[in-house]
Amino acid sequence: MASEMLYPVMPIYLKSIGFSILLIGILEGVAEATAGLSKGFFGKLSDTSGKRVPFVQIGYALSAVSKPMMAVFIFPLWIFFARTIDRFGKGIRTGARDAILSDEATKETKGKVFGFHRSMDTLGAVIGPLFALVYLYFYPNNYSTLFFIAFIPGLLAILASFYLKDKRIKNQTVKVSTPFFSFFSYWRESPAEYRKVVTGFLVFALFNSSDVFLLLRAKESGLEDTMVISAYIFYNLIYALFAFPVGIIADKIGLKTIFISGLILFAVVYFGMTLSVNIYLFFVLFFLYGIYASATEGISKAWISNITNKKDTATAIGTYSGFQSICSLIASTLTGLIWYRFGAEAAFVTTASVTVLVIIYFLTIPKPIKVSNV
């Protein structure tokens, strides 16, 4: 709720305090790069230290504190600092949090557990923007106060994290140094199955640009601002409703099967975006996009946790998340360039076509095998 409350407001707020489109792009690039690189490092640090909860608590604390910081001063350097602190907090907590989820599940319930997490996370992505829209309806252009209000759910998340308790992890008695880029070495040490699966994930991420391009396409096709934001909220609602049941189904018929099904829906949506669409078709496409997200986001992490050793869960997920963030930055840049040079249709067709190739690649990967978690 805290983060997504500000998602539709952030670019408007930044422009209102003098940020250009270019500066906004640089800001988001630096912030996401910080999150991406720190996910791998802190995931590795969580595994080597045998601790999970402190990383979760510190991560949520930094993200919560960053919200009001962005409203206190409007100097560009301060905004860069506050936004980076927010993403740094995400990088600190992600690997450890996902490892906690993995530890609370069995191989047969990974999809259910990660699906439930995605449902709750995305429910916040529905409630947050809805609250922001209602607030701005009564207090238009009063963006800065919203940043202070967003601190409240952030604070509640910190308080809730104190109910978590670390489990004792076996064979974690020797402390070793963890250089910042040490997680890169995990790629060489990881199981072959992990490298095969994550390679497919990363190729897909390399062309899976920001959802902003979908919203821009909707805007370009004639939808009013309120309808564009409504479509975004609708997508998140579908995502939240389907993530948990899809996770349960994935445990029964296979994580790989569900993930590939999600990619097929993704390709359909992106091919569909090239058509001359009306408001009804847009909402159909965003409905399918919500189901795609529910079939891939949590499922990918559940799949990774099933093909790596338990002691390396945070490192494995953190390494993947780190590389994924970097690929996502490249993806948005590539899509923007293709859109600028050849038009929106070319951008969406390129992404959809590469997705079809990724689907074929995953079909060649054998059924995931269980690794020893001793």
* Model pLDDT, residue 372: 44
Q: How many domains does the chain have?
A: 1
Whole-model pTM? 0.75
CA angle, residues 178, 301, 100, in degrees to nearest 5:
60
Distance CA 326, CA 331 (A): 9
Contacts of 140 by beta carbon, 8 Å cutoff, 6+ apart: none
Distance CA 168, CA 50 (A): 7
| Sign (positive or negative) of CA dihedral 257, 259, 264, 268 | positive
Q: Tell me if 89 is assigned to some domain.
A: yes
How far from 253 is each of 109, 248, 289, CA to CA, in Å? 12, 9, 21
Distance CA 320, CA 300 (A): 10
Q: Tell me if 180 is assigned to some domain.
A: no
* Model pLDDT, residue 275: 82
CB 262 within 8 A of CB 357: no
CATH number for the domain spanning 284: value is: 1.20.1250.20
Q: Tell me if 172 is assigned to some domain.
A: no
* Model pLDDT, residue 294: 92
Q: Tell me if 369 is assigned to some domain.
A: no
* Model pLDDT, residue 22: 62
* Model pLDDT, residue 132: 82
* Model pLDDT, residue 27: 74
Output the tens digit of pLDDT for each of the chain's 374 residues: 888 888 767 767 777 788 775 676 667 667 777 777 787 788 878 888 888 899 999 999 999 998 898 888 778 888 888 888 988 888 889 888 888 888 888 878 888 888 888 888 888 888 888 888 888 778 877 878 888 999 999 999 999 999 988 876 554 544 555 555 556 677 778 888 888 999 999 999 988 877 777 877 887 777 776 777 788 889 889 988 898 899 899 988 989 999 999 999 999 999 998 886 678 888 899 999 999 999 998 888 888 888 888 787 777 887 887 788 788 778 877 888 888 788 888 989 999 999 999 999 999 887 655 444 44
Distance CA 232, CA 325 (A): 21
Q: Tell me if 176 is assigned to some domain.
A: no
Residue type, 71: A
Q: What is the span of the domain harbouring residue 14?
A: 10-164+186-363
What's the maximum distance between 2 C-alpha atoms anywhere in the chain? 61
The burial of 165, by beta-carbon neighbours within 10 Å (0-12 exposed, 13-18 middle, 19 or more buried), is given as: exposed
CB 357 within 8 A of CB 293: no
Q: Tell me if 359 is assigned to some domain.
A: yes
Outline where 50-109 has alpha helix (H).
53-72, 76-103
Q: Tell me if 1 is assigned to some domain.
A: no
Which of helix, strand or coil describes residue 70? helix
Distance CA 91, CA 89 (A): 5
Q: Tell me if 153 is assigned to some domain.
A: yes
HSE-CB for 159 with a 13 A CA cutoff = 6
Which of helix, strand or coil describes residue 51? coil
CB 117 within 8 A of CB 298: yes
